[in-house]
Structure formats: C-alpha cells, structure tokens
Structure 1
Amino acid sequence: MSKKALADFDFEAGEVLLLDKPLTWTSFDVVRKVKNTLRPRKIGHAGTLDPLATGLLILCTGKKTKEIDQIQAQEKEYEGTFRLGQTTPSFDLETPVDAEQPYAHLTEAQIQAAVATFLGKIEQIPPVFSAVKVDGQRAYELARKGEQAEIKAKTVEIKVFELTRIVLPDIDFRVVCSKGTYIRSLARDLGVALGCGAHLTRLVRTRIGEYRLADAWTVAEVQALRPPRPEAADGAAPPRQRRERLKPARAGLDFYATQQADRAPAAGPDLPLHPEEATPSA
C-alpha cells in the first residue's frame, strides 16, 4: 500500500501526522511550527520527545485529537547510545560531565549481564531535568535553579533491551518499553549497575505502537504545504509585516549550544539555537 500524500490530508477534519522531530527542537516547537503552517483549529502531540532526542513525534489534528491518550499509552521503541565512565546531572548532553570513573576493565559479558537485570517491570526514578511535577512545579524548573527536587520512583516495563554495538566507552542499544519510561534514567541506572556511571549521548524514537519513524514526514515537507501569499493589486506580493523575533524556547540547552558552537547549527528554521537565546521550556 502506497504512502498517503501529504497534500491529500484533511487536517481540519482530523489526521494523525507522523513527524521526524529535529535535534534541539522541543515537541512544542514542532507543534507550533505545524500549527502556524496548517492552521488547524485543534492540534496536539501524542507523547513528548526531549530536545536532544530525534525521531518519531505524532501530532493529531481535528477529531483525531481524541486518540491522543490511546496513542500515548502504546509501547515505544528507541535506538541510541550510552557513554560509560561519565555522568551528567541531566543524564544526557544538556549539562556538563560532573564525574568520571574507570570503565576500561569492563568485559562484554559483564555489560550484557547488567543489561539483563533491567528486563521486565522495574522501579525507575525520572530525571530531575524532566517535566515531572513536584509540589506543582516542573522538576526541570527547580533543577535549573539549583534547587533539590524529590521525585518518586514509578513502575515501568522494559520489554526489550539489547546492545547492538560495544565500542567502549560507547554502547549502542535498542529498547522497547512501556509508556513513561525515561531512557536517560536507564542510562543512569545502567551506569550505577556497572559501577562506572553513564549518560545518554544519542536517542532516536523509532516506533510508537504500530506507527513507525520510517513512515514519518519532515517538518520541511509539512511547511511546503503552506498556502501561497496573496498578491497585491499590482500583482506583487505584499510586504511581510515585521514582527519582533521572540527568543525560542530551548529547554535550557545553554551548555549543549556552547559545545556545538564550532559545528553547523542543528536548530530548525526560524528557531536558531544560540547560548544567549536558550531559555527553559516544558
């Protein structure tokens, strides 16, 4: 069966739109960009992705927004990379390394044995740099102010946890898990189990239930659906109204932006990522 063309979607009536979220974009960035392009009356996403994760983000429009809870409840599949021997407060690249421990003594058998202990239902504590609410505030808001947040453990299920490559200090993995699982916390917990610490350096969501990243569209492809600007009486397009550019919400990625300063910018269109513009967001 051929893939349905974007031009054939009826976003106002209701569609489930699969998108490949760009690196450094928040999930809300994507929703905002699609909303400004397509102008549906109702739109929402079915499960967030961290700014430093890429991959499948599902948006629902119109009457399909009623299916958001159902989609969010389905199992997720991820691929990514953990780095052993180093820890960070955010469990990923959002914050700098705060401790280092030896890792070169670890054997593949030891690493595989530690991985096996996480299969099934486990108790997991979400990261302090997460959207979990603590006394009415988001945990990341407290963490970025240097305040302590006591986050309770919750039960999640790891259905598949396999290593696809081991080149120390990096290990590549594939995980299939239940709703609410934090892969960053899995990195932290694996590092604890191995006694060397670990953090997440790459994460791609490849599947939610039966929805797959291979069938997703890019944000640029959606933007191509933007209606043409109306012409003025003389046939020329009217000048764009100049608006003050707002600082984009970049979820506190100051450190990450600094580290990437010498590389090509990864931020999306009209949403440049600069250290001085990075501000906390959900």
Structure 2
Amino acid sequence: MSTKTLADFDFETGEVLLLDKPLTWTSFDVVRKVKSALRIGKIGHAGTLDPLATGLLILCTGKKTKEIDLIQAQEKEYTGTFRLGETTPSFDLETAVDLVRPYAHLTDEEVTAATPQFTGLIQQTPPIFSAVKIDGKRAYELARTGQEAEIKPKTVDIKIFELTRIALPEVDFRVVCSKGTYIRSLARDFGTALGCGAHLTRLVRTRIGEYRVEDAFSLEAIEALRPPRPEGDRPARPERPRTAPNRAGLQYFAALQADALAAKEHQAHEAGETPAAAPENPPE
C-alpha cells in the first residue's frame, strides 16, 4: 500500500490514483463508483481490465487525464493461470467450455518448451469477446448475439512469458508485454501450440510502467473517504443490488460460482455446519 493517504490527494486539480480492481467489476464500473464516492468532476482510466481480471487499474483525475495515453502506452505485467485441455469461445471463464481434449500425455518439459515462440514481436488476433471495434460496433456485442465477425491480427511485443507453476491441467504464468496484448489470446494460442487447447482462468495485472498493484488502494478505502453530502442537497438515491456477472455477460462464471456455493453448502450440511454467507455483489 502506498504511504500516501487518500486524504493527501487533490482530485479536482489532478491526480493519478492506483486502484486494485475487484473481480467481476468492469473498468467503467470502477470509474463510476470512484467518481460518485469522491465527487470528482473529471476522471478516466488508463487501460481497461476485463471483468474477470483483477489488479492494477490506474485512474486519472482533473488535469492528469491528459496523461492517460502516456500511461496506458507503458509496459504491462500480468500473472495468472491457464487451464489446459479445455477451450471456451471467450478464451476465459466468461463463456462455457466448448471443447475438451486430452492433456495428461504432456510433460512439464514439453509445456515449458512451448513458451519461447510467444516472446518478442508476434502476430496476435484479439478475442471476439473484446472491445475491438468492427464496423463501428464492439466485437463483444456481436459475439454475445451469436454474430460472426473477422478480427485482423496485430503485432504485439511480449518481452517475458514464463511459467511459474505447472500442475496439469493448471499452468501459472508471468507475462511482461506491450499495450494491446490480450492474455486471453495468449492462452488460446498456447493451448493450440500444445495441441490440447487452453483458456484463461485467473488474471492479475501487477504493473503498468513503474506503477505497481502493491501501491494500489482498495475500493473500500475509497468508499471510506466519501465526503458527507452538503446540507440541503438532494438525498442519495437508495442503492439497488445488481448481479455483476450478469451485467458483464459472465453467465458461465456466475454458474460456476453458484455450483461452488452449492457444493460448499452440501459439504457443510453433511458435516453439520452452517456455511458462510455468499459474498455480496458489488453495488451500483
């Protein structure tokens, strides 16, 4: 955590604020929440994180919004997990598994040997479930309505792609890469190279340039700094609950979470215990 406290920031004049994005929140969800909580007039984020990714999201306020392009152009670092032997249309947990292939024949040496081909300047095709624009529409809008669209490959620079744990079918990794690199696409391409398919099951952005997730604030810390509403101002509208996975189009992830909760409840019932309450969805 940064030694600088939130009370030290002058958001209206301009600040660069590091946030640790929660799971299932879109980057826009976070911007809107911080804007509302701190009553900031001008705010934006420097680099989108997918709903199923967590970690460093950089917000710029006031005059610092002019630095957004410079910040998001910097080198990125990620850690996460691929699951071998299964593919999904979105290359992550947003959509259900559509193909299962054997992976048990692979050795650790064979898995590791597939990594060098994905370093340096490579051609990468973004996922159809992405914000890439096709004829004026976001690719994910077409994908979620079942429409097919062609996305052209682009050149990205992956400086480091290393495996930090191999426990098949799971493989943990660390990636250092350029702006515009899709780790979900790397999961797909890595699985294709191994002949068994793969998809991304966990992703954390740990760094953008010199900015690190260790120095980021949580949304709870932001909420704690919410200023009191001025006397006579209109009352705050009551917060209404929403299901974040559904809002983000994460039906498969929501189903996985429901299955996991049901399994815990069953185990607790068999053991005569009371299961812990499910975590609440992030507020509107």
Q: TM-score, normalised by structure 1?
A: 0.89
- Could you tell me how far apart the structure 2 residues matched to 1:247 and 1:82 are? 26
Shift of 1:112: 1.1
| Count of paired positions | 265
Secondary structure at the counterpart of residue 117 of structure 1: helix
For residue 67 of structure 2, what is the aligned residue in structure 1?
A: 67
Matches of 2:216 and 2:196, distance apart in 1: 37
Q: Distance in 2 between matches of 1:59 and 1:83?
A: 31
**Structure 1: 5+ residue runs without aligned partners?**
272-282
For residue 257 of structure 1, report the CA deviation from its aligned partner. Answer: 1.2
Contact 1:162 1:173 in 2 (8 A): yes
Partner of residue 200, structure 2: 200
After superposition, the C-alpha distances for 1:133-174 in whole angstroms (9 at most, x for unaligned) are 011110000000000010000000110000000000000000
- Aligned equivalents of 1:45 and 1:126: distance in 2? 21
Give the CA deviation at 1:72. 0.5
Shift in CA distance, 97/7, structure 1 to aligned 2, threshold 3 Å: same
The alpha carbon displacement at 1:267 in A equals 3.1
Pairwise mapping of residues 241-252 of structure 1 onto structure 2 (< 5 A)?
241-242=237-238, 250-252=247-249
State the match for 2:256 in structure 1: 259
Paired residue secondary structure (2:80):
strand
Q: Deviations over 1:18-76 (max 9, x none)?
A: 00000000000000000001112210000000000000000000000000000000010
The residue number in structure 2 matching 1:154 is: 154
1:32-43 equivalence runs, <5 A? 32-43=32-43
The question of 1:189 aligning with 2:203 is answered no
- Secondary structure of the 1:172 match is strand
Shift of 1:240: 5.0
Higher helix share: 2
Which residue of the partner structure matches residue 56 of structure 2?
56
Which ranges of 4 or more aligned residues in structure 1 deviate by more than 4 Å? 237-249
Corresponding residue of 2:99: 99
- Alignment correspondent of 2:122: 122
Once residues 148 and 60 of structure 1 are traced to their aligned partners in structure 2, the CA distance between those partners, rounded to angstroms, is 36
- The RMSD of aligned alpha carbons is 2.0
Hey, what does 1:18 align to over in structure 2?
18
Query: Which residue number in structure 1 is paired with residue 274 of structure 2?
Result: none
2:189 maps to a residue whose letter is D
CA distance in structure 1 between the partners assigned to 2:235 and 2:12 by the alignment? 28
Amino acid at match of 2:158: I
Verify the 8 A CA contact 1:26 1:250 in the aligned structure 2: no
**Equivalent AA in structure 2 for residue 85 of structure 1:** G
Identical positions, percent:
72
Deviations 1:176-230 (A, max 9, x none): 0000000000000000000000000000000000000000000110111111245
2:118 is paired with a residue whose SS is coil
Superposition map of 1:156-175 within 5 A: 156-175=156-175
What amino acid does structure 1 have at the position aligned with 2:12?
A: E
Could you list the runs of 5+ residues in structure 2 that have no partner in the other structure? 262-277
Say whether residues 1:31 and 2:28 are aligned partners.
Answer: no
Match of 2:145 in 1: 145
2:148 aligned partner, one-letter code: Q
SS of alignment partner, residue 68 of structure 1: helix
Structure 1 SS opposite 2:32: helix
Tell me: CA distance 1:183–1:266, structure 2 relative to 1, closer, same or farther (3 Å). Answer: farther
CA contact (8 A) 1:71 1:209 kept: yes
Q: How far apart, in 1, do the equivalents of 2:129 and 2:165 lie? A: 28
Q: In the aligned structure 1, how far is the partner of 2:146 from the partner of 2:52?
A: 21
> Using a 3 Å threshold, how does the CA distance of structure 1 residues 35 and 172 change in structure 2: closer, same or farther?
same
TM norm structure 2: 0.88
